[in-house]
Structure 1
Amino acid sequence: MEIDTNKLHALLGVMVNELGAAQNAALVTLGDELGLYRAMAGKGPVSPTELATLTDTKERYVREWLSAQAASGFVDYNVAADRFELSAEQAAVFAIDESPVNMIGGFQALDAVYADRRKLAHAFRHGGGVSWADRCTCMFCGTDRFFRPGYKSNLVANWLPSLDGIIEKLERGALVADIGCGFGSSTIIMAEAFPRSQFLGIDFHAPSIEHAAQHAKQLNNVRFETAGAKDFAGTGFDLVTMFDALHDMGDPVGAVRHVAKALKPEGTLMLVEPMAGDSLADNLNPIGRIFYAASANTCVPASLSQEVGAALGAQAGQVRLSQVLNEGGFQNVRRSAETPFNMVLEARL
């Protein structure tokens, strides 16, 4: 094959950027773990010595870390003063946990991706999957931390109001099930906003449910149970929610069919899924790139570890998701809201 030099140089430029990103991903999680970003937030320009003193770390390591962060554009560097500063925008991404654009959780989940690489390689070669329960524990923390800021920013303010009549029901007092709740962030956010309603968080991963229950101790309108999406107990729900969970399930149609039986006839299923177009070509963009990679590393292996193993993937798109919802008994499906990272589908019987 004859090599086009211009194309080769362009690809090599991309790869240089990729190697830098991969190396710095580890430094981002390290900076979070050691409190380096948080110590810089709002402090103005700091020297490596000052930051090391603030965080009880060693200056030489901190200087090299700061240099790598500056080269990445994650912190600013003043050449004349030889000092580093975390801007307000950088702090929103790296230092402020409640910021809707905090991205640390995504980096934290990468620890699990690399820790579990051999399990994934085995699945690629021999089939089967990698169960959620068999993942490195930082996957659970990172996933919750990545999605929680977006839920806090959008769930009560935008997503629930986009559903027909749901806010009125929640304010009067409704019964809600949150399927695949993980650490319970989505469940707790709703329970805090609507104290007259009762919320049940359900997940098949028992350690996550234990974690969720600990965080909800002060709330008397929420409880958590370990159960699967196809066999959780209870009926008469006004609202069932699934946040970034359906595409991970082995049998999404079976899960939706069970939800249809658990809802009141006039009830609503709110499905929150990763933003995606309906074809590969639609998703060849930076957001699709993230979600396809996450899907190959985590979502598809999780589904293939379960019965049926539908493996929808994190870029299933609205058309495919609507087919699943229709097959599960929901004939009325519409997109009610969206963000750059998520689409919200309202499904009714």
Structure 2
Amino acid sequence: MTITPDSTPPPGQDADSTNADRTGVVSAAPTADEFAERFLTSTLATAETMSVYLGERLGWYRSLADHGPLTADDLAARTATDARYAREWLEMQAAYGILEADMSGTTTTFDISPGVAEVLTDTASLNYLGALPRMFAASFGRLPELLDAYRTGGGVSWEQFGTDARESQAALNRPWFESRLAPALAGVPHLHELLSRPGAQVLDIGFGAGYSTIALARAYPDARLIGLDIDADSVQMARRNAEAAGHGDRVHFEIAGGEEAARRGPFDAAFAFECLHDMPRPVEVLTAARHALAPGAPMIVMDEAVSDEFSGPADELDKLMYGFSLFVCLPDSMSSPPSAATGTVMRPSTLRSYAEQAGFQSVEVLPIEDFAFFRVYELRTG
């Protein structure tokens, strides 16, 4: 599943409903009726998103995919949940067009189509999004703390966001790491050759649930990998995942910040998958990684493929990343002062600035395309 730039005007904007200021910047000027309609649509989408959270967490989608069509009573019995709540949820899902309702018999039954089931239940599919609402649920559960952070300049840490956030990110990235990371790296000959060397030492900073590190271990069986992450629960989860995948002997996960990378090594390559924008002190981490690398070895940074510059109305990817930034990534970064306060929408120029301050001499975008929401950078000292 890939988000592409939206070529249509933002809601409420057309050729006759824009205003340009003296700098030439064009902004949307919706009428009250147009914005009210747009905001109602957004509210419906919020309700839909959180209803998906209920269905995913309670096992309702999975039960329908495995045993449907089902009545409300059947679904409740199979999932050890309450039938009245199940009926209300099922009717709401049908009202939104997520599920299909059959009212031809004496009792209404509900079913899930193969396409919807893939998106909401198939954790190996590149279209899988079933865990996405869990990230926002984790954030919404911390709204009092977020409001306080916004007032005071404080933050809310990844640890505070808890299991839903941790498992959401892991589940959404897992299919991409497991099915696409190896071929993506194989398509970059000089990097593939480096990682294929017998005994190659590889560092993975901010590994989360460890799926990136495990994918590297699977793709390069002669390499040895060390992962560093500050979240103790993530480290435990990653260790379990590595053992389950049969790579516990070659993958070593440690509770440590990226700033501690310089104490390890030397490494033939270092990676930071979708984590640099969360780090309160990214320059320090990149500097430590540079010192940990063997001479001429690359640092690979994968982060969100947002647009190059802020330009007001944006495409869907930038909008989504601003949502993550407001509710998760920026508060997480600001929870550990002093913080660079990067946010999820890390522009390429920001990454280049961090790399230069850390002592890297070149930053190149690798020819890896159609890899979820991400852009892959290679940082080198020479």
Deviations 1:46-67 (A, max 9, x none): 4434433433434432222122
CA distance in 1 between counterparts of 2:186 and 2:361 reads 21
CA RMSD of aligned residues (A): 2.3
Deviations 1:181-206 (A, max 9, x none): 11212111221232211011110112
Kindly state the Cα deviation for residue 305 of structure 1 after the two structures are TM-superposed: 2.1
Asked if 1:211 corresponds to 2:237, the answer is yes
- With the length of structure 2 as denominator, give the TM-score of the two structures: 0.83
CA distance in 2 between counterparts of 1:100 and 1:31 reads 20
Aligned partners of 2:56 and 2:131 also within 8 Å: no
CA spacing shift, 1:314–1:9, aligned 2, 3 Å: same
CA distance in 2 between counterparts of 1:64 and 1:91 reads 20
CA spacing shift, 1:157–1:42, aligned 2, 3 Å: farther
Asked if 1:227 corresponds to 2:233, the answer is no
Deviations 1:284-314 (A, max 9, x none): 1222111101111111112222243111111
Structure 1 stretches of 4+ moved >6 Å: none
Alignment equivalent of 2:266, drawn from 216, 236, 254: 236
CA spacing shift, 1:73–1:154, aligned 2, 3 Å: farther
Alignment equivalent of 1:170, drawn from 195, 206, 223: 195
Which is worse superposed, 200-209 or 124-133? 124-133
Which is worse superposed, 330-339 or 202-211? 330-339
Give 1:182's aligned amino acid. G
Give 1:190's aligned amino acid. L
Give 1:344's aligned amino acid. V
SS in 2 for 1:267: coil
CA spacing shift, 1:324–1:164, aligned 2, 3 Å: farther
Asked if 1:293 corresponds to 2:318, the answer is no
Aligned partners of 1:276 and 1:283 also within 8 Å: no
Percent identical residues: 30
1:312 is matched with 342
2:6 is matched with none
Comparing both chains, which one has the higher relative contact order based on Cα–Cα distances under 8 Å and sequence gaps of 6 or more?
A: 2
CA distance in 1 between counterparts of 2:157 and 2:222 reads 36
Give 1:341's aligned amino acid. F
Pairing of 1:170-209 with structure 2 (within 5 A): 170-173=195-198, 174-209=200-235
Asked if 1:17 corresponds to 2:47, the answer is no
Give 1:143's aligned amino acid. Q
Kindly state the Cα deviation for residue 262 of structure 1 after the two structures are TM-superposed: 0.8
Asked if 1:250 corresponds to 2:274, the answer is no
Give 2:158's aligned amino acid. W
Asked if 1:338 corresponds to 2:369, the answer is yes
Kindly state the Cα deviation for residue 99 of structure 1 after the two structures are TM-superposed: 1.4
Asked if 1:131 corresponds to 2:157, the answer is yes
1:68 is matched with 92
SS in 2 for 1:224: strand
Aligned partners of 2:136 and 2:327 also within 8 Å: no
CA spacing shift, 1:282–1:185, aligned 2, 3 Å: farther
Asked if 1:284 corresponds to 2:325, the answer is no
Alignment equivalent of 1:121, drawn from 143, 147, 166: 147
CA distance in 2 between counterparts of 1:251 and 1:72 reads 43
Kindly state the Cα deviation for residue 170 of structure 1 after the two structures are TM-superposed: 2.6
Which is worse superposed, 241-250 or 71-80? 71-80
Ranges in structure 1 where 5+ consecutive residues have no aligned partner: none
Deviations 1:246-282 (A, max 9, x none): 0111111111111111111221111110120122227
Count of residues in correspondence between the two structures: 345
Kindly state the Cα deviation for residue 107 of structure 1 after the two structures are TM-superposed: 0.7
SS in 2 for 1:235: coil
1:150 is matched with 176
